[in-house]
Chain A
Amino acid sequence: MAAAAASNAASPPAIAKMELRGVSKTFHARGGETRALEPCDLAIAKGEFVTVVGPSGCGKSTLMMIAAGLEAPSAGEILVDGRPAGPAGPSRTVVFQRFALFPSETVAENIAFGLRVARTERAEIERRVAEQLALMGLERFAGAYPHELSGGMQQRVAIARALAVRPDILLMDEPFGALDAQTRTVLQEEVSRLQRELHYTVLFITHSVEEAVYLSDRVVVMSRGPGRIKREIAVPRDARWRGLEIEAAGNDASFLAAKREIWELIRDEIVRQ
């Protein structure tokens, strides 16, 4: 039922969009060293939605920070389109758990930020901002400041801001972790819809197994810390429950089976601690 690593039906044998090779991380603190990440290999194909799940402390956030270029790996390399990735930049934008919207800029200004930094011409900026506002349902809030918005709206702005620069790959670090359950469900369904329409390349981190199965093409399970990649599980794109709301999908047998399999792997790691 579950495929082993990389036998995903979706990807042809082309150069991966993003590849992490032998990436490991050791933190040096005053007391000594902490090994956060064992060497990991991960390849993400263009248009693929890959989610990393694992028990708390397994290093999945560290993996994301390294993929984004915000942390340097102790060993290993990161490749984008086969070439070494440079410093953190708009080819790999990030949506953070805590939104990270610039409080002194309006919604529209936040979305336009990356474009203004890149000195895009004004007409193009306006076009893309309008596009993102429509895509994320934010037209009414274009002139509002972040602190005037609810958590769900703020995260929508963050996603819009990350997408406005047309990144090669979108990185999402537990983006719905700070939201209440209802908002979370709504946003999960929205991201799923966007993915089916627009086929972004996404690396997603979460600790919710249900979210991982619902959104992804492939789920990567990490072991407990210091983390390494334990198993990769493909989630078929043409599964019956795709396109349904989470409620409905939750009743589908194959959905539940995938959830169970992944959860068993994680529970195994937690119990062994």
Chain B
Amino acid sequence: MSATAAVVRSDVRSARANAARRPVAYGAAALATLVAVWWLATAIPGLVPTRVLPSPVDVVVRFGALIAEPFSGATLFGHALVSLQRWSIGVLAAIGLGVPLGIALAWLPPLRAVVTPAFELLRYIPPFAWVPIAVLWFGATTTTQAAIVFIAAFPACIINTQLAVSQVDSILVRAARTLGAGAATTLRRVVLPVAAPTVFTGLRIAFGNGWMALVGAELIVGKQGLGFLISQGQINDSAATILVGMTTIGVLGALIDVVLQRLQRVALPWRPASAKPLE
């Protein structure tokens, strides 16, 4: 049944209860099938070597082991904590610098002319391309990792903030002026609250970018962290370790985003501006 027929049918009959249940059923079935195939493939002896693809059970066992005992310096929690620390520092720096700068760029057009050349030149260098020079400048320390996170998160912060602020309907600014508000009051009470939901969405993107960059940086330098964990897994030929690490990275990344979404809904209940944030 194609989408066109579905369009017509949904006009004729709204079967909301059914419509919600079926996708979930299909999705669950698809995932269950994948896991089953995976398990079968590894259960047949000789078909797939365990160093290449461990069985699901192996992965779960390894997960338990990593929580209980240190591997390459720390338990799973230990590595995760270190990663989160570095990520927080980088992301907070990106917000602290990016959001005010984004607001300034939106509010003061001449400033854009000053900043744009440098920004455009540097923007297309991927965060990882900065890793070698960051290592040279800061050594193999937390600062390097945090710097890479910062570089990854900063563009999204500043661009989306600028976009959000400049797309606040100018009629609201005019209304504020006619009511006697000066620039500071207008910014504080009208422009920023209206832009806030979109800024927040941009921040969520920046946070995600930062997390992805961190993992990469930890693959290359450092002695702790989730990225380090999975690279150690590769060196020790333990695919199970790698899979546990990857899952943890993915889960944490998704969790961060979900928490932020909830936070946004609670703190900023009014309808967001119509601006669409950039990836």
Q: Is the CB of B270 within 8 A of A94?
A: no
Q: Is the CB of A90 within 8 A of B174?
A: no
Shortest CB-to-CB span from A28 to chain B, Å, is 17
With A102-B189, A117-B181 as contacts: A147 and B270 at CB distance below 8 Å:
yes
Complex CA–CA separation, A48 to B172 (angstroms): 28
A177 proximal to B (CB < 8 A)? no
A103 proximal to B (CB < 8 A)? yes
Complex CA–CA separation, A147 to B269 (angstroms): 11
Complex CA–CA separation, A161 to B185 (angstroms): 17
With A94-B174, A100-B172, A102-B172 as contacts: A114 and B271 at CB distance below 8 Å:
no
B129 proximal to A (CB < 8 A)? no
A251 proximal to B (CB < 8 A)? no
B40 proximal to A (CB < 8 A)? no
Partner of A93, one of B172, B179, B190, B194: B179
Query: Interface SS of chain B: helix, strand, loop or mixed?
Result: helix
A5 proximal to B (CB < 8 A)? no
Q: Is the CB of A94 within 8 A of B180?
A: no
Query: Which A residues are CB-close (under 8 A) to B178?
Result: 68-70, 88-90, 92-94, 162, 171
Shortest CB-to-CB span from A176 to chain B, Å, is 16
Complex CA–CA separation, A94 to B178 (angstroms): 6
Partner of B179, one of A98, A145, A147, A165: A165
B52 proximal to A (CB < 8 A)? no
Chain A residue at minimal CB-CB distance from B180: A90
Shortest CB-to-CB span from B190 to chain A, Å, is 6
Query: Interface SS of chain A: helix, strand, loop or mixed?
Result: loop
Q: Is the CB of B194 within 8 A of A161?
A: no
Query: Which A residues are CB-close (under 8 A) to B190?
Result: 102
Q: Is the CB of A165 within 8 A of B270?
A: no
Within 8 A of A (CB), among B161-176: 169, 171-172, 174-176
B56 proximal to A (CB < 8 A)? no
A198 proximal to B (CB < 8 A)? no
Chain B residue at minimal CB-CB distance from A94: B178
Q: Is the CB of B171 within 8 A of A114?
A: no
Complex CA–CA separation, A161 to B174 (angstroms): 14
Within 8 A of B (CB), among A79-108: 87-90, 92-94, 96, 98, 100, 102-105
Complex CA–CA separation, A98 to B170 (angstroms): 11
Chain A residue at minimal CB-CB distance from B179: A114
B265 proximal to A (CB < 8 A)? no
Query: What class of interface size applies to chain A in its complex with B?
Result: 20 to 34
B193 proximal to A (CB < 8 A)? yes
Q: Is the CB of A90 within 8 A of B171?
A: no
B177 proximal to A (CB < 8 A)? yes
Shortest CB-to-CB span from A177 to chain B, Å, is 13
Q: Is the CB of B194 within 8 A of A70?
A: no
Among B176, B178, B189, B271, which residue has the most Cβ atoms of chain A within 10 A?
Answer: B178
Complex CA–CA separation, A68 to B180 (angstroms): 11
Shortest CB-to-CB span from A103 to chain B, Å, is 5
Within 8 A of B (CB), among A50-97: 68-70, 87-90, 92-94, 96
Complex CA–CA separation, A88 to B182 (angstroms): 10
Chain B residue at minimal CB-CB distance from A100: B175
Query: Which A residues are CB-close (under 8 A) to B271?
Result: 103, 147
Q: Is the CB of B175 within 8 A of A96?
A: yes
Shortest CB-to-CB span from A96 to chain B, Å, is 6
Shortest CB-to-CB span from A193 to chain B, Å, is 24
Complex CA–CA separation, A76 to B277 (angstroms): 43
Complex CA–CA separation, A56 to B190 (angstroms): 31
A29 proximal to B (CB < 8 A)? no
Shortest CB-to-CB span from B267 to chain A, Å, is 11
Shortest CB-to-CB span from A109 to chain B, Å, is 9
Complex CA–CA separation, A13 to B174 (angstroms): 34
**Interface residue ranges, B against A (CB under 8 Å):** 169, 171-172, 174-182, 185, 189-190, 193-194, 196, 269-271
Sample of 7 A–B contacts (CB below 8 Å) = A90-B178, A100-B171, A103-B271, A104-B270, A117-B180, A147-B270, A161-B179
Q: Which 4 A-B pairs have the closest CB atoms?
A: A104-B193, A114-B179, A100-B175, A90-B180
